[in-house]
Structure 1
Amino acid sequence: MTTQFSVADIELELYRYPAKQESNLQAWDAADEHLIKHLTEQQQTPCCTAIINDNFGAVTCSLTRQNNAWPLLVETDAKTSQLGTLQNLGRNQLPDDNIQWCNSRDLLPQRPELVLMKLPKNLNYLAHQLDRLSQVLAKGTTVYIGAKAKSINKALLQLLKQHLGPATASLTWKKTRVITCISDGTARPLPADTRWNVPEYQLMISNLSNVFAANKLDIGARIMLDNMPQGDFKSIVDLGCGNGILGLRAKQLFPDARLHFVDDSEMAIASARYNWQLNQLDNPDLEGEQACFHWDDCLTHLGDEVRPDLVLCNPPFHQGEAITDHIAWQMFLDALRRLADGGILHVVGNRHLAYHVKLQRIFKNCTTVASNGKFVILQAKKQVNKAKSTD
């Protein structure tokens, strides 16, 4: 794995988050390099700059390396991106007091004079981000967007024009291009969330723009909903919750349970929280908080008091555009550490991902609960700590 970032006389050591993850993926791509190269060629001087979708801080660290007083507004929907950026700032002995952190729902706290973006994979999310920018950017503000050359076409440039202002693309360098979009100064309305019913479970679901399965129940979640575990569960984690559909159904089945919804996406957590309220799932006979919502990297920062007896998990097998299974590994390992003795991890995944091999290795047991031509549902149980039980 390459960790030495070098472009335009900027030298950095960069890692994906967490630094010891089980993958050989590097923390930046050529589009990051192209953005920094382009800024250098433009002789860009420090000004209030918004950085959006900076996966692990390559752009943020580069500008801070150039001038550690460069005022930055760093917006991300992914907790791992925020944590990765902080990790790489620290590794390169760079300060972070020049940074204001922003999520993907709130308007930027001040008007930026320059915007640097990485093109997200989800174009609905891109449109949402552009609409938000249109509400704060002055007419004539430049937005530079780094992307793979193959992702740039007339339809994309038209989308940029529709939601923010006219756009052109640079020549290709290392199979990437930099789009220059100029704000036209017209504020667009923010998009409404997407709502749809799941009538067989009497649930209403609302999704924000960067949440997986934006307008329908995905087929992996559907087979999971049809094969929920049996037991007397009192503490349940919906790990990688997305819009929260699995946790909402769990609360219907186990009304005395307390739920924890966890996701790397801040928009997912906001959607899950709203869906809990929308479906009015609090049990009037149960005192105290019945649902907690955690924007987090898997179960990294949950309190020690959270010891679930059930973890529901529909793991992603990509991070941005990178196909990877390291997130599933981390989810399974975190579940093993967090589960109460005898607790269950209930997982759905594509058959070809061979999660049964990972679960058998981690938990020393794995049972197939259900399957179809594409998906399989697996269950692993945390074994009772015999040494502990005999104390």
Structure 2
Amino acid sequence: MTTQFSVSGIELELFRYPSRQESNLQAWDAADEHLIKHLLDTEQAPANTAVINDSFGALTTALLSINASWPLTIETDAKTSLLGTQQNIERNQLNSSSITWVNSRDELPQGISLVLMKLPKNLTYFSHQLSRLSQVLPAGTQVLIGAKAKSINKSLLETIGQYLGPANASLAWKKTRVITCVADGKPRTLPKATTWSVPEFNLEISNLSNVFAANKLDIGARIMLDNMPKGNFKSIVDLGCGNGILGLHAKQVFPEAYIHFIDDSEMAVASARANWQANKLDNPALVGEQATFGWDDCLTNMSEGFRPDLVLCNPPFHQGEAITDHIAWQMFLDAFRRLKNGGILHVVGNRHLAYHVKLKRIFKNCTTVASNGKFVILQAQKISKKAQEFDSQAPSAASQTNDEPHPQSALYGKPKSK
């Protein structure tokens, strides 16, 4: 895996988050390099800059290396992006005191005079971000968007013009282009959450713009809903919750349970919270808060005493545009380490992903609960003796192969209580 970022005299060491993982993907791409090269070629002076969709901090660290006091507002919807950027700032011994951190629903500050942005995979989310910018950017503000050349077409440029201002694309460099948009100063209305019904489960669902399966029930979740686990569960995690539909239905099936919704996307967590409130699932027989909502990197920052007896999981197999199974590895490992003895991990996934291999390696057991032509539901149970054996035999990062789970990163930070 390449970790040395080098462009136009800037030298940085950059890692994805967590820095120790099975994936061999690097922490930046050529579009990051192109944006920085463009700034240096045009002799851009430090200005109040918003940096948006900076996956693991390549843009942020490059700007700070050019000028340590470059004023920055960093916007991200992904907690791993936030943690990765902070990790790379620290690793390169840069000063973060000039940074304001915001998520994709926070109010953007006034006075932004330059925007650097990576084109996200989700174009509905992209339109939302442009609309947000239109509400704060004065006419004439320059917005630079880095993207793969193959992703840029007439329709995309028209979308930018519709939501923010006129745009044109540069010549290609390393198969990327920089789109230059000039804000027209006309504020647009932010899009509302998409809402839809799941009548067979008596649920009303709403999704913000960057949440998976924006306007319908995805087929992986469908087979999971039809095949919930059997048992008497009291503490349930919806891991990678998205809009929260698995956790919502779990509360219907296990009304005495407390549900914990966790996702890397802040918009997903907000959608799950809104859906819990809208569907009025609190059990009047229980005391206290019956649902928690965590914007977090899997289960790494849960308190040490947190021991659920069921984890529901529909893992993603991509991170941005990169196809990778390291997120599933981390979800399975975190579930394994957090589950109480005898607790169950209940997973749905595409058949071709062969999650049973990973689960058998981690849990030493795996049962097929249900399957169809495309998806399979697997269940693994934590057994204390085997858990201890696995922890003592966890491979080092240097010895990993495609069948080996990565160990937890020491950079995850001190656990925090929920």
Give the TM-score normalised by structure 1: 0.98
Alignment of 1:35-50 (within 5 A): 35-50=35-50
% of aligned pairs identical?
A: 75
Counterpart amino acid of 2:279? N
Is 1:237–1:310's contact at 8 Å kept on the other side of the alignment?
Answer: yes
Give the structure 1 partner of residue 311 of structure 2.
311
Is 2:51–2:75's contact at 8 Å kept on the other side of the alignment?
Answer: yes
Give the structure 2 partner of residue 129 of structure 1.
129
Cα deviation, residue 139, structure 1: 0.3
**What SS does the aligned partner of 1:237 have?**
strand
Distance 1:89 1:296 in 2: 19
**What SS does the aligned partner of 1:173 have?**
coil
Give the structure 2 partner of residue 52 of structure 1.
52
Distance 1:135 1:16 in 2: 32
Alignment of 1:139-218 (within 5 A): 139-218=139-218
Give the structure 2 partner of residue 245 of structure 1.
245
Is 2:109–2:136's contact at 8 Å kept on the other side of the alignment?
Answer: no
**What SS does the aligned partner of 1:18 have?**
coil
Distance 1:132 1:302 in 2: 32
Distance 1:145 1:386 in 2: 49
Cα deviation, residue 8, structure 1: 1.3
Give the structure 1 partner of residue 394 of structure 2.
none
Distance 1:387 1:152 in 2: 49
Aligned pairs, number: 388
Is 2:110–2:137's contact at 8 Å kept on the other side of the alignment?
Answer: no
Task: Classify 1:386/1:43 alpha carbon distance in 2 versus 1 (closer, same or farther; 3 Å).
Answer: closer
Question: Is 1:359 paired with 2:359?
Answer: yes
Give the TM-score normalised by structure 2: 0.92
Distance 1:284 1:26 in 2: 49
Give the structure 2 partner of residue 27 of structure 1.
27
Give the structure 2 partner of residue 93 of structure 1.
93
Cα deviation, residue 110, structure 1: 2.6
**What SS does the aligned partner of 2:276 have?**
helix
Give the structure 1 partner of residue 226 of structure 2.
226
Task: Classify 1:387/1:312 alpha carbon distance in 2 versus 1 (closer, same or farther; 3 Å).
Answer: closer
Question: Is 1:8 paired with 2:8?
Answer: yes
Is 2:262–2:294's contact at 8 Å kept on the other side of the alignment?
Answer: yes
Is 1:79–1:297's contact at 8 Å kept on the other side of the alignment?
Answer: yes
Counterpart amino acid of 1:154? K
Structure 1, unaligned stretches of length 5 or more?
none
**What SS does the aligned partner of 1:50 have?**
strand
For 1:137-173, what per-residue CA distance to the aligned partner results, in whole angstroms no more than 9, with x for missing partners? Answer: 0000000000000000000000000000000000000
Is 1:107–1:136's contact at 8 Å kept on the other side of the alignment?
Answer: no
For 1:21-78, what per-residue CA distance to the aligned partner results, in whole angstroms no more than 9, with x for missing partners? Answer: 1110000000000000000011001110000000000000000011110000000000
Cα deviation, residue 12, structure 1: 0.1
Distance 1:108 1:132 in 2: 8
Tell which has more relative contact order, 1 or 2 (C-alpha 8 A, sep 6+): 2
Is 1:53–1:118's contact at 8 Å kept on the other side of the alignment?
Answer: yes
For 1:240-273, what per-residue CA distance to the aligned partner results, in whole angstroms no more than 9, with x for missing partners? Answer: 0000000000000111101110000000000000
Cα deviation, residue 349, structure 1: 0.1
**CA RMSD of superposed structures (Å):** 1.0
Structure 2, unaligned stretches of length 5 or more?
389-418
Is 2:34–2:178's contact at 8 Å kept on the other side of the alignment?
Answer: yes
Counterpart amino acid of 1:42? T
Distance 2:346 2:386 in 1: 23
Cα deviation, residue 96, structure 1: 1.0
Give the structure 2 partner of residue 63 of structure 1.
63
Task: Classify 1:313/1:386 alpha carbon distance in 2 versus 1 (closer, same or farther; 3 Å).
Answer: closer
Question: Is 1:346 paired with 2:351?
Answer: no
Cα deviation, residue 385, structure 1: 4.1
Distance 1:332 1:294 in 2: 18
**What SS does the aligned partner of 1:365 have?**
coil
Is 1:317–1:327's contact at 8 Å kept on the other side of the alignment?
Answer: yes
Is 1:341–1:385's contact at 8 Å kept on the other side of the alignment?
Answer: no
For 1:151-208, what per-residue CA distance to the aligned partner results, in whole angstroms no more than 9, with x for missing partners? Answer: 0000000000000000000000000000000000000000000000000000000000
Distance 2:151 2:28 in 1: 17
Distance 1:305 1:144 in 2: 46
Distance 2:289 2:303 in 1: 15
Distance 1:255 1:165 in 2: 50
Question: Is 1:336 paired with 2:328?
Answer: no
For 1:113-147, what per-residue CA distance to the aligned partner results, in whole angstroms no more than 9, with x for missing partners? Answer: 00000000000000000000000000000000000
Cα deviation, residue 106, structure 1: 2.0
Distance 1:204 1:139 in 2: 40
**What SS does the aligned partner of 2:384 have?**
coil
Segments ≥4 residues shifted beyond 3 Å: 384-388
Is 1:262–1:295's contact at 8 Å kept on the other side of the alignment?
Answer: yes
Distance 1:212 1:356 in 2: 24
Cα deviation, residue 101, structure 1: 0.4
